[in-house]
Structure formats: structure tokens, C-alpha cells
Amino acid sequence: MSKMFCIATQELLSGFQGTLVVDGYQVYPLVAKLEETIRVAHCWAHADRKFKDAKDPPTAVARIRSLIAELYKIERQIDGPFPGTTRRR
């Protein structure tokens, strides 16, 4: 990872306050450490994909993927708006 990518991402997010839902790109946690107003939350879809391809014991992977599926089920039951979105009138 290049220092240039970290600087560019920090500049892009300059002034942002809140939580970033991100993939596994390593720059985001580094920028969050530099910027006190930014928190990082990792995307369940990316995590699930990693577990789907994992070589770990099948029962452990199945359990984790089942828990992720439960989170998606709860999310579908929530009536938004979600953080970062606005309702259209």
C-alpha cells in the first residue's frame, strides 16, 4: 500500500464526520486513526464472501455465515432511513 493512496483518501474524506462502511481496503482504518471524526465499519457482504471462500472447518464457516444471514434478516425488518440516507418525499 502506498503512502500516496493514504494521503489521497485522507484528502477525499477531509471534513467528513461519521461512519464509513467499507470493504477490506487497508487505507480506511489508517485514515480513521488520523481523523478522529471518522469511524470504520466493515461491510458484511465482503466479510461473507471471505468466509464463503475460507478453508476453515466447514462447521465454523457455516455458523459464521448463518450469523451474517441473521443480520441481513434483521436489516430487512428495519424501516429506514439508514445512516447516510435520506427519505424522498
Residue 82 is given by DSSP the state P
Give the tens place of pLDDT for each residue, 28-66: 999 999 999 999 998 888 889 888 888 878 898 899 999
Q: Which domain holds residue 37?
A: 1-42
Please determine, for residue 87, whether its predicted confidence score (pLDDT) is greater than 60: no
Residues 58 and 69 in one domain: yes
Q: For cell 475460507, name the residue.
A: 54
In the chain, the amino acid numbered 85 is T
Cis before 57 (ω within 30): no
35 and 10 belong to one structural domain: yes
Q: Are residues 31 and 60 in the same domain?
A: no
Q: Are 4 and 25 in contact (CB under 8 A)?
A: no
Q: What is the pLDDT of residue 43?
A: 86
More confident residue, 80 or 30: 30
24 with 50, same domain: the answer is no
Does residue 88 belong to any structural domain of this protein?
no
Name the pTM for this structure. Answer: 0.61
